[in-house]
Structure 1
């Protein structure tokens, strides 16, 4: 993702402001809506800090895979446990005991990515580890409420995924097009800016607008396959887009599918209603009332769903 090094430095700087919560270990949270690049940034941050932690860094993904495999990965990357020993482990409990024994006192960076309410027990086991001085643990989730309510990370210790800058957004939009952004003329640059700005979104609780990386990438690929590198034609088509339902693009399904898959089952109906049928020109308060009426749910249930960023 464009801007990775800048964003990684922002995360590193943020860690400096986070107070150690236990025996010199700093725990921070990273949150953002689906498709905003949390996982990409989490992996990049591991690479960014590889040298500082002498290679003892590990990224664990909680949206896929199983707990036993995650524990073995932690053993392998954080403690350099030999493969011969890893092969003798038969279940997660056994692996967890080995991890606790080997990890004690080690200075490491552990990234727990896409944590949810369902992963509380497993994540808590990692947070209990007795790590070495100046160790860091980064948890990522789709909302600050998940981090605060379920993992007890205070809001001051949580940061949003950093915003993309405009030139970075343009790079992502043109990723599949053979266009050198640095040599674009003024007219081409104006068309590129116009296209990229179409993918600015409002975020709940955040001032200003934010570029959506996955949407930029998906639609940039679509527009290039349809018009080639002719940015004036890209801008012309985008000009005709009135709302999301008018896109009619296969790439949009990939964007929505990623968001839908990571939505908790009880909120998926709300996600679909917001995506497909949400009335236009309606205030957020009226939308909440509309959803409560359609689904026959309490307004508090709808408000909680929206607070967890179920839709972008």
Structure 2
């Protein structure tokens, strides 16, 4: 979930709920929401808002309606204060890869797409020139799982020429040199299913790992500690099964980590050093997405199934 710099708008997309449109919520009146169709294109599961970008804009990456036949991804930039489409560019075509100018500091940008008959992750510099691509892989996945290979995410490591790739449906994180695209190391996570990585100021990375939060040292690439922050649930047959956690959010002081727990109907605040729970904030429904309010202390939360937005305070 993206929050505008002044806190006036929240931008969210839940594929199973929003019916192909972005949901835009008034940051001061969370009951006021509207759905925005991006450039006449309905979004799909792969699509997502990215950002925020510079000058009050954010990017939405969408697949072309012809995506299955031609390798192109369209990227649309929208204003986060008055959402409307103002630019459309193709991120991928047969001749070259061109990317919109997105503000991510010194970090390179990355997109996943099909090119030349293969799924690739493309790396681009701030000048929009492609420097390399990295082929997708099945590594670490169940041999019977032969669905389209790919990555569930790619994250640039701050202050290093290094990218971390999470192999989809696998417990592998691949550390890759962003200049040469040579693999540096494989980081084995406690569980399969990495959807988010947050980097702290002290060289630590906080990995959302299905029902677990893992802390990884970015220098040694070792898992330092882990904690199952979401207890297992019970099914109709009286059997326990693991359930996933939602988004992570690192508080501005860098000492507290907020974790959305949709199956426990709360957001928990844990200490980053011990991963012990400090606070539980009960909410209605199943909280899934988190964002920080511009006041630096309040959380903005979106529920998974009803799509409601909440605002709560961290003690």
> Normalization by structure 2: what TM-score?
0.25
Query: Which of the pair is proportionally richer in strand?
Result: 2
